[in-house]
Amino acid sequence: MTVMLRTRALSKSFTLHLRGGLLMPVLADIDLEVHAGECVVLSGPSGAGKSTLIRSLYGNYRAEGGSILVRHDATMVDIAAADPRTILAVRHKTLGYVSQFLRVVPRVSALDVVAEVLLTRNIDLDTARDKARSLLLQLNIPSRLHPIPPATFSGGEQQRVNLARGFIAGHPILLLDEPTASLDAENRAVVIRMVQQAKASGTAIVAICHDADVRDAIADRLFTMSPYQDAA
């Protein structure tokens, strides 16, 4: 089994500037390992640090201790120690992230929000838009919405645009933060199928997922986290 992602003794605290620089530990000694074709679901109560862990894996938050090894090309890159350029290269090719909420860019159509990811990979505009269109339709975003910027979309529609954007490039590692939180049962089933297809093609997935049906359908394993105070 190919290890795609491995953390060792990962730790992260937040400095609370409004409270005199008080240091609040959130992650301590996290050892997580994810293999190709496997989906690990982070579980634990609200506040346990699940989103913080996903953001740290993506390099959004700087880990303060430990390592985050990610298989990138033929090497293991330590996201916890990498310079910003390396992190961008890893995100480009290897590490995809579907955040809980779509970051809406004004004036860019839903179709191009999704297609954009492929344009940075020297794929021509027509091919990129074709692929974006078919993913949006698969996620039940009707054609009439494709030319419209997603700013005015409902929460569930925005979440599906975000999912299309996250899945379009076929990153070997995907991080999903509550990808079905705003979706109805029909669309949850679509997402389950997309995750299962990605796994079958070897994608390693780390997900946060409160919906029990989705979790049971996608998880190979749970990684249980508890709030720092409880763990101490």
Ligand X SMILES: Nc1ncnc2c1ncn2[C@@H]1O[C@H](COP(=O)(O)OP(=O)(O)O)[C@@H](O)[C@H]1O
Minimum distance, C-beta of residue 210 to Mg ion, in the bound complex (Å): 9
Helices (H) and strands (E) in the chain, counts: 8, 10
Quick one: what does residue 49 bind among Mg ion, ligand X, none, with the CB cut-off 5 to 8 Å set by partner type? ligand X
Contact predicate 97/58, CB 8 Å: yes
Q: Which of 168, 180, 231, 175 is nearest to 55 (CA)?
A: 175
Is 14 among the residues that bind ligand X (CB under 6 A)? Answer: yes
Is 12 among the residues that bind ligand X (CB under 6 A)? Answer: no
Residue the block writes with tokens 């409160």: 210
Q: Which of 26, 32, 82, 93 is nearest to 59 (CA)?
A: 82
- Tell me, by CB under 6 A, how many residues bind ligand X: 9
Quick one: what does residue 110 bind among ligand X, Mg ion, none, with the CB cut-off 5 to 8 Å set by partner type? none
Quick one: what does residue 48 bind among ligand X, Mg ion, none, with the CB cut-off 5 to 8 Å set by partner type? ligand X
**What is the per-residue binding string for ligand X in 38-77, x denoting contact by CB under 6 A?**
--------xxxxxxx-------------------------
Is 159 among the residues that bind ligand X (CB under 6 A)? Answer: no
Minimum distance, C-beta of residue 81 to Mg ion, in the bound complex (Å): 25
Quick one: what does residue 52 bind among Mg ion, ligand X, none, with the CB cut-off 5 to 8 Å set by partner type? ligand X
Residue 50 or 165 having the CB closest to Mg ion:
50
What are the C-alpha distances in Å from 3 to residues 24, 84, 175?
31, 23, 15
Is 7 among the residues that bind ligand X (CB under 6 A)? Answer: no
Minimum distance, C-beta of residue 12 to ligand X, in the bound complex (Å): 9
Phi, psi for 42 (deg, rounded to 5): -80, 130
> What is the Cα Rg of the chain in Å?
18
**Under the phi-then-psi rule, with left for phi > 0, alpha for psi from -120 to 50, and beta for the rest, what region is 73?**
left
Residue 49 or 172 having the CB closest to ligand X:
49
Rounded distance, CA 212 to CA 232, Å?
A: 28
- In the complex, the residues that contact ligand X under the rule CB under 6 A are 14, 26, 46-52
